[in-house]
Amino acid sequence: MKKIVLVLLALFIAVPMVSDAGSVTSRWDMTIGGFVKFDAGWASQGVSGDYMFASPGSINNNTNVTDKWGNTFMAAGETRLNFAIKGPDGWGAKTTAFVEGDFRQTGAYEAFRLRHAFMKFDWGTTTLVIGQTWQNWGLMPSFNLLGVNELGPMNKGDRLPQIMVTHTFAKDWRLTYGVISAYAPQSAGGNRASLGVNTNTSQQTIFSYPNFEAELGWSSDVCGKIGPWKMQFALGGFAGKNKIARRSGAAGTDWYDDDIDNWGLAFKTYIPIIPEKKGNKAGALAITGSAFLAQGPNAFFGPWSYDAYISGNAIPANTSFSAHNGTVGGGWGEITYYFLDNVFINGLYGYARYNWSDAVRGLTNGGNAVITAADIQNVQHVIVNLMYDVNPAIRLGIGWTHLQSGYANFQAAGGGGKSGKLDVARIAAWYFF
């Protein structure tokens, strides 16, 4: 009797669980994808696995505790989940949508955040994209990295709200153009996170103008390909304006503003020097990379972007002012060689530098330094990794990364010197679904 009661009780509990575990459905054809990602490693400084810069190194009588000891890390925050939707035709175009997120929320690592959310209209030789997705200028997603944070300061690419049109013509040519947001919705830092001004600060950048973005590209399989990648070259850029607001006098008295140009240019390429043979990548060799120069890149550089600066010191009441932007340039390159169809090695180098003069580093506005000693002026990444595709679902990787960062000046007591070095040994595993 007791056994019967236990079975009935188990069935009673299980029924609602089974009914709630139905298959995922949508009004349209929808597929779920993404991957589970696990990282583990050791860093020579006290940083997490989501590094991008090296902390200032310790110098005589000025020890930086972050630089004094290393650290180990394990994380799964790079795990991603996406939904791809195919809907009914509209305006004579095939329509699709894509939503993706990961768990690298700024300030709350392993909290879910939005990466992509866009709709696409495809007329064959012309497409229209509306929503948040990758920028076009300088984006060359052929890099093979163990950590998505690597190469971040070298214009690896960022995801921004946009309206973008792409025309394909003469078979191998494409032209992309449209408007793109000058700021990222999740930007760190109050000055770059939202529109409007803050009466508690003496200076504020207001991104009130969208940027115009365009890119002309050529691609062809005339030299073969490696996986999905074939030879391509592209030149692109963006142009727009920022509005800089400056408080005049005490808080709540008056404000003045000035418009300043922001722009960027980038060249990118992928070259399969030794292409794959009959679908087998063993012995294949490729080089890829991107070079750029920009003024006021803002959201395109995520956490490594600085506000415009103002000529002179404190602005007297009832006067105008002139705002300026520094330029930043650099790029990255990668060489990839396949030992086997599913085993390959990658070597990468990236460098970027803000071109601040000594005068700019000494400027102040209302007593606040424009460029502080803690601001990063240049950064470089040297990366070597080995990857092994066990099967279409599983990838394993092991690698080493060396980072160097140069700062605007020597740090205050307890902050260290004017530059820093970071070495990271890392392993990673992906499970694609």
DSSP secondary structure string for all residues of 23-63: PP--SSEEEEEEEEEEEEEEESSS--TT--SPPPPPBTTB-
Q: Residue 281 falls within a domain, yes or no?
A: yes
Section 341-368 average pLDDT = 80
Q: Residue 355 falls within a domain, yes or no?
A: yes
- The 10s digit of each residue's pLDDT in 21-54 is 445 567 889 999 999 999 999 999 999 888 999 9
Q: Are 351 and 154 spatial neighbours (Cβ–Cβ below 8 Å)?
A: yes
Tell me: pLDDT of 315 over 70.
Answer: no
CA angle 212, 218, 219 (to 5 degrees): 130
Per 3-state DSSP, the chain is made up of helix, strand and coil in percentages (nearest 5) of 10, 55, 40
Range of the domain at 336: 27-432
The mean pLDDT of the chain is 84
Q: Residue 7 falls within a domain, yes or no?
A: no
Distance of alpha carbon 407 from alpha carbon 378, whole angstroms = 7
Section 370-375 average pLDDT = 79
Q: Residue 177 falls within a domain, yes or no?
A: yes
Residue 205 has a pLDDT of 62
Mean pLDDT is lowest, of 58-62, 89-93, 307-311, for 307-311
Which residues are within 8 A (CB) of 225 and not within 5 positions of it... i.e. 6 or more apart? Answer: 231, 272, 275, 276
Per this entry, what is the length of the chain? 433
Tell me: pLDDT of 319 over 90.
Answer: no
Tell me: pLDDT of 410 over 50.
Answer: yes
- The 10s digit of each residue's pLDDT in 377-404 is 999 999 999 999 999 999 999 999 999 9
- Whole-model pTM: value is 0.86
Tell me: pLDDT of 251 over 70.
Answer: no
Domain count, the chain: 1
Q: Residue 16 falls within a domain, yes or no?
A: no
Residue 347 has a pLDDT of 98
Residue 275 has a pLDDT of 98
* 19 compared with 290, residue with greater pLDDT: 290
Give the CATH number, domain containing residue 267. 2.40.160.10
Residue 182 has a pLDDT of 77
Residue 297 has a pLDDT of 80
With bands split at pLDDT 50, 70 and 90, how would you rate the model's confidence at 225?
Answer: very high
Residue 189 has a pLDDT of 38
Residue 25 has a pLDDT of 64
* 349 compared with 369, residue with greater pLDDT: 349
CA angle 95, 33, 229 (to 5 degrees): 75
- The 10s digit of each residue's pLDDT in 160-205 is 999 999 999 998 999 999 999 877 665 433 333 333 444 444 555 6
- Which among 117, 42, 100 has a CA at the least distance from the CA of 73? 42
* Count of helix runs (H) and strand runs (E) in the chain: 4, 22
Q: Are 351 and 321 spatial neighbours (Cβ–Cβ below 8 Å)?
A: no
Q: Are 258 and 243 spatial neighbours (Cβ–Cβ below 8 Å)?
A: yes
* 339 compared with 246, residue with greater pLDDT: 339
Tell me: pLDDT of 6 over 50.
Answer: no
Q: Residue 11 falls within a domain, yes or no?
A: no
Q: Residue 14 falls within a domain, yes or no?
A: no
Phi, psi of 86 (to 5 degrees): -110, 115
- DSSP characters over 272-293: EEE--BTTB-TT-EEEEEEEEE
Q: Are 73 and 49 spatial neighbours (Cβ–Cβ below 8 Å)?
A: yes
Distance of alpha carbon 233 from alpha carbon 336, whole angstroms = 18
Q: Residue 144 falls within a domain, yes or no?
A: yes
